[in-house]
Structure 1
Amino acid sequence: MIRQPKWGHLKELHAAMKHCSINLLRGQQTIYSLGDKREAYVFRLNSRKCAAFLVNRGGKDTEVSTQNSSRSMIRGKILDGWEEFIDHIPNYEDTTLKSNTLLEQITTARDSSDYLWYNFRYQHQSSNTKALLKVYSLGHVLHAFVNGVLAGSAHGTHQNPRFTLENTVSLNSGINNISLLSVMVGLPDSGAFMETKGLGLRSVSLQVQQKQLILTNSSWGYQVGLLGENLQIYTDQGSSKVQWNKFSSSRQPLSWYKTVFDAPAGDEPIALNFGLMGKGEAWVNGESIGRYWVSFHTTNGIPSQTWYHVPRSFLKATGNLLVILEEEGRGSPLSISLDTASITRV
């Protein structure tokens, strides 16, 4: 089964066997002693090619160092001609799904999107325009908007997806629209009690001066997915459904960027360099090439991944559509380049 560890182990075993199949079938077998209870079974076809099975029957670990090939990325053309579309931030009145409590995200979204909007309408009557917004979430990421303006973001970690967003926000006199975007970042595919796991918001409160308002069991409106996502604006057909504007460098959250590019010559692997982007997803000719989160760094202080492979089977000779959703609004597409991978046999 594809989700079981044995499937992955067998996949790697079959790949290794195929890689050295000619040596195994036609090579001369020789057994070498590598020390106490250590041997090598070598199948040599000629002076340059061999396959070896290493055996260690001793009680101590023995380190093995090997390399089959090396890869380097060659900087390619920086893409230009960008256009942008800022996604719509829904209000309570925009939503059709209503509930008098906070709904669990996985059940509500039903695998149709990573994104779920929680929308609330608040009547503010105090002269004090400042309030403390406090949101407790089971994970994974949260972006809070008050009257269409980003009021704060927070996220959990792999070890502990739960977190609390606590930010001071500005309120208008009268009706205020609070829009909370909860984002999923992958789900476990195995383990005990998976049916009891939940995501999304669990409690929301507003503190105005000394008065704390618990909003958890108020009337909430919900929208599954982003507007651009629901319209599939990453496809040729969906892209025509919205008004794209010239790139403005405004770096707003929930920004969609698009451009077209020609396929580079040759047959080497190619990848998009997202080194200065934030968090989001990218599509080439309507095919997703993956979610990226470059702004989230490892313990070494660097992103876990900056290059995203584009299969050449996705490409046409000219006029390839690239659409990017920049969720955080941190990154600029002006730095994105289409790089080529140079692979050298060692």
Structure 2
Amino acid sequence: MRDSTSTMERPALAMAVAMLVLASVCGGFPGASCTKVSYDDRALLIDGERRIILSGSIHYPRSTPEMWPDLIQKAKDGGLNTIETYVFWNGHEPRPREYNFEGNYDIMRFFSEVQKAGMYAILRIGPYVCAEWNYGGLPAWLRKIPGMQFRLHNEPFEREMETFTKLIVNMMKDANMFADQGGPIILAQIENEYGNIQGSLPDQESATKYIHWCAEMANNQNVSVPWIMCQQSNDLPPNVLETCNGFYCHDFKPKGNMPKMWTENWTGWFKSWDKPDYHRPAEDVAYAVAMFFQNRGSVQNYYMYHGGTNFGRTSGGPYITTSYDYDAPLDEYGNISQPKYGHLKQLHALLTSMEKHLVYGQQNETSFDDKVKATKYTLDDGSSACFISNSHDNKDVNVTFEGSVYQVPAWSVSVLPDCKTVAYNTAKVKTQTSVMVKKESAVSQGLKWFWLPELLEPFRTERTGSLRSNELLEQIVTGADESDYLWYKTSLTSGAAEEFTLYVNTTGHELYAFVNGKLAGYQHSANGPYLFQFQAPAKLKAGKNYISLLSATVGLKNYGASFELMPAGIVGGPVKLVRADGSAIDLSHNTWTYKTGLYGESIQIHLDRPDLEWTFPRTVPVNRPFSWYKAIFHTPAGEAAVVVDLAGMNKGVVYVNGHNLGRYWTSYIAGDMDGCHRCDYRGEYKTWANEEKCLTGCHEIGQRFYHVPRSFLNAGGLNTIVLFEEAGGDPAKVNFRTVAVGPVCVDAEKGDAITLSCARGGTISSIDVASFGLAKGGQCGAYKGGCESKAAMEALSAACVGKESCTVSYTDDFVSSGCEGSGVLTAQATC
């Protein structure tokens, strides 16, 4: 049949067809930009052009959808061009084939926000993620599947892993989220840090088959962007790219024709209940980044750029606090953390300006000793960009390079975009330090507390619970991690009243023991092996007696070879009643009845159901285990982040308007560590082997403040806080606070611009210090003395007081008589 379309119409028709084809692969609408991603040994190629990637990790479940646009924009304003996140399997599939993609698990909305911001994205599916996340992100229900072996070559695990991976990939494809569809995703990851544990797995042949299967399965998804595997140096499958994780990756050398990529630059460290707060100095993070790009690096991601909060039960690993602040450039609440954010922002701007030199330039190195070198990147047009690094941790050096002398402080890198002038040195922080303060809110006044006891009676006998066994079962498999709590219940008949010691050998994190309905004792394990031997007095009566044991976990193991096989609960026991003469009754093979969870969880007390009759006594019971409390409060005014101070409580869970803010354990005091007493940015940063430094919070409550996102609150209305107190606390001491910038400080040298800034609409109320001689050894907010500069004080006061931010140039006029040679001017203001 002949084509009846006229010659005049054919070009228009061809154009229409082309536009339809374009629309089908570029975001679903004409004009969207299709992006081809490839790579060579220097960099990722975006549409054939080598690019440097400056990325930051923001985990969508550790914040809220309402926070995402602000977090992503701050990352972009900080000089990043890419956002990276893991995908959290156990949050998305809490039960087999029951999926959750709502609220802070709305991953499609998260990537849409990244796209709206005009940024790239890195999709780390895993689906094992580690991430200090419960069970490393793997659903506990996998353990119930016959023949299941985690992260080894076996059909049950690979089937489930492939099913979930395909689900995520297809969701992204359907939403046109991959780069060739006009979306932001330029890299995808499969598995995670497998090389770190592969050699310790029980079956090396199975491990090798598994990791190669992972790569083949991923590549079969046809996502048209490169797949990466981090920390997979020794057994790297074909068609995936190797990347590095750690505090430093400048010495990392990928195999073959691959760019040098750093998927995790740890900006700080996670916190456990028994540990103080970790801080990695801004100078050291900047040093690591500059060293990486000096040594041919091209893709760098901060882990974390925003750490956030471990909301709910599934988002914290064993003994990990609810806070996942990570000392990141954006703090737990989304505030800019200075000086880290600003110091890195300045470095990002320079690296971006040097992009062509870094990815196309010819590299030449000049070594001055084994720790001092200069690196020059030269383009064909003759222009060049340079770095001079000094990796001595205790010695400043003078370097003569291309006819000029440069003073390079210890453990620092100088960046010379034109190979002549030092535009930036990683050890010289010119950004302000902001001290965040938590101010008590007026809504805390007059809180009225209601009370309900946890209903324990049904659990003190064998009446509740459908599962029975003549052995002591493992908690994770038995309860599928549906709750932190699992009841073990049994009975025995005694011919006479008798006194015993109840002895329980447990691998759980906590244990409460009830004998005939009365609490006999409580114990929790140390953070580490989690094994402990429980003992408590037990009085039996003549006749039938009931033994009820409540085992509790505080997050599940998330890392290590065969981590999923670390047991929890009273698996195997033994459980014995021991007489004073040493003779014993072994209950281990009694008939045990099992029940997952607490009664209050089953009826969802945290939702403040209207049919519940809360008691409003004149005096609220305090220090009473297994109690529920609630109070009504107004939303704090303003835009500042809101936290609830739980210093008066002990251990439990906190909810606001039905949202689970996470576990609290305010009775846990952080131990003393040497790192609380020394801090120097110079030298390798470590968080192990007793070499920690720059810690704060020794001898203080492990975590006292808990984030209440404003999207959880009713604007201008009333809100409900519900506490489940497990061990006994005093709700009268609970209060609400807002987080705001307090003191701000900056050090400046002659010719610098002194910039001071408050946040979220705050204004500078006073200039408190403008002095020389204070730059070392003091803390922002506590500066005083020194050689005061009256001229600087007057200039800063005139320009800054009453303003949200201000900038004043440091001129010769600031140097007061007698202060000559001091050099560094310190300014301190109050917001």
TM-score, normalising length: structure 2? 0.37
Confirm or deny: 8 A CA contact 2:453 2:628 kept in the other structure.
yes
Query: Residues 126, 75 of structure 1: CA spacing in aligned structure 2 closer, same or farther, 3 A cutoff?
Result: same
**2:578 aligned partner:** 207
Matched, 1:224 2:622: no
Query: Residues 241, 34 of structure 1: CA spacing in aligned structure 2 closer, same or farther, 3 A cutoff?
Result: same
Measure the CA separation in 1 of the matches of 2:704 and 2:645: 6
Confirm or deny: 8 A CA contact 1:133 1:205 kept in the other structure.
yes
The equivalent position to 1:284 in structure 2, one of 633, 653, 656, is: 656
**2:644 aligned partner:** 272
Structure number with bigger Rg: 2
Code of the aligned partner of 1:120: T
Measure the CA separation in 2 of the matches of 1:265 and 1:212: 62
Query: Residues 98, 39 of structure 1: CA spacing in aligned structure 2 closer, same or farther, 3 A cutoff?
Result: closer
Confirm or deny: 8 A CA contact 2:497 2:541 kept in the other structure.
no
**2:515 aligned partner:** 146
**1:47 aligned partner:** none
**2:704 aligned partner:** 306
**1:319 aligned partner:** 718
CA deviation string 1:246-284 (max 9, x = no partner): 253253211111111110111111111111211101011
Confirm or deny: 8 A CA contact 2:648 2:732 kept in the other structure.
no
The equivalent position to 2:528 in structure 1, one of 159, 163, 166, is: 159
Confirm or deny: 8 A CA contact 2:512 2:522 kept in the other structure.
yes
CA deviation string 1:111-149 (max 9, x = no partner): 211100111112222233x22101111120111112222
Measure the CA separation in 1 of the matches of 2:628 and 2:410: 62
1:343 is paired with a residue whose SS is strand
Matched, 1:193 2:583: no
1:188 is paired with a residue whose SS is coil
For structure 1, which runs of at least 5 residues remain unmatched after alignment? 44-50, 56-62
Measure the CA separation in 1 of the matches of 2:477 and 2:410: 58
Code of the aligned partner of 2:727: E
Q: Highest relative contact order (Cα 8 Å, sep 6+), 1 or 2?
A: 1
Deviation (angstroms), 1:226 = 0.5
Query: Residues 66, 215 of structure 1: CA spacing in aligned structure 2 closer, same or farther, 3 A cutoff?
Result: farther
CA deviation string 1:1-29 (max 9, x = no partner): 353553564245866598448954689x9
**2:454 aligned partner:** 87
Q: How does 1:177-188 map to 2 (within 5 A)?
A: 177-188=546-557
Q: How does 1:124-139 map to 2 (within 5 A)?
A: 124-128=494-498, 130-139=499-508
Query: Residues 103, 12 of structure 1: CA spacing in aligned structure 2 closer, same or farther, 3 A cutoff?
Result: closer
Query: Residues 13, 314 of structure 1: CA spacing in aligned structure 2 closer, same or farther, 3 A cutoff?
Result: closer
Code of the aligned partner of 1:343: V
The equivalent position to 2:731 in structure 1, one of 333, 341, 344, is: 333
Measure the CA separation in 1 of the matches of 2:429 and 2:491: 63
**1:58 aligned partner:** none
**2:544 aligned partner:** 175
Measure the CA separation in 2 of the matches of 1:131 and 1:251: 27
Matched, 1:73 2:438: yes
Q: State, as a whole percentage, how many aligned pairs show the same letter.
A: 32
Structure number having the greater strand percentage = 1
Code of the aligned partner of 2:636: P
The equivalent position to 1:243 in structure 2, one of 591, 605, 613, is: 613
**2:810 aligned partner:** none
Measure the CA separation in 1 of the matches of 2:476 and 2:710: 34
Measure the CA separation in 2 of the matches of 1:314 and 1:176: 46
Name which of structure 1's ranges 173-182 and 216-225 shifts more when overlaid on structure 2: 173-182
Name which of structure 1's ranges 33-42 and 17-26 shifts more when overlaid on structure 2: 17-26
**2:186 aligned partner:** none
CA deviation string 1:291-335 (max 9, x = no partner): 111112221433211011111111002221111110112x11010
Matched, 1:33 2:407: yes
Confirm or deny: 8 A CA contact 2:438 2:739 kept in the other structure.
yes
Confirm or deny: 8 A CA contact 2:622 2:731 kept in the other structure.
no
1:71 is paired with a residue whose SS is strand
Query: Residues 38, 263 of structure 1: CA spacing in aligned structure 2 closer, same or farther, 3 A cutoff?
Result: closer
Confirm or deny: 8 A CA contact 1:33 1:39 kept in the other structure.
no
Name which of structure 1's ranges 214-223 and 82-91 shifts more when overlaid on structure 2: 82-91
CA deviation string 1:200-230 (max 9, x = no partner): 0122111245441000110011110001112
Measure the CA separation in 2 of the matches of 1:80 and 1:335: 10
**1:110 aligned partner:** 480
Measure the CA separation in 2 of the matches of 1:295 and 1:100: 36
Deviation (angstroms), 1:170 = 2.4
Query: Residues 142, 127 of structure 1: CA spacing in aligned structure 2 closer, same or farther, 3 A cutoff?
Result: closer
Code of the aligned partner of 2:473: L
Deviation (angstroms), 1:41 = 2.4
Deviation (angstroms), 1:240 = 3.3
Query: Residues 21, 36 of structure 1: CA spacing in aligned structure 2 closer, same or farther, 3 A cutoff?
Result: closer
Confirm or deny: 8 A CA contact 2:622 2:730 kept in the other structure.
no
Measure the CA separation in 2 of the matches of 1:35 and 1:20: 18
Query: Residues 52, 257 of structure 1: CA spacing in aligned structure 2 closer, same or farther, 3 A cutoff?
Result: farther
1:234 is paired with a residue whose SS is helix
Structure number having the greater helix percentage = 2
Code of the aligned partner of 2:469: S
Confirm or deny: 8 A CA contact 1:79 1:336 kept in the other structure.
no
Measure the CA separation in 2 of the matches of 1:179 and 1:13: 43
For structure 2, which runs of at least 5 residues remain unmatched after alignment? 1-123, 132-191, 193-244, 246-262, 267-300, 306-328, 330-340, 355-384, 388-405, 418-422, 673-698, 746-831
Measure the CA separation in 1 of the matches of 2:556 and 2:413: 43
Query: Residues 38, 195 of structure 1: CA spacing in aligned structure 2 closer, same or farther, 3 A cutoff?
Result: closer
Query: Residues 155, 207 of structure 1: CA spacing in aligned structure 2 closer, same or farther, 3 A cutoff?
Result: same
Query: Residues 38, 335 of structure 1: CA spacing in aligned structure 2 closer, same or farther, 3 A cutoff?
Result: closer
Confirm or deny: 8 A CA contact 1:272 1:337 kept in the other structure.
yes
Measure the CA separation in 1 of the matches of 2:410 and 2:483: 57
Measure the CA separation in 2 of the matches of 1:213 and 1:74: 56
Code of the aligned partner of 1:251: N
Query: Residues 20, 313 of structure 1: CA spacing in aligned structure 2 closer, same or farther, 3 A cutoff?
Result: farther
Aligned residues: 328
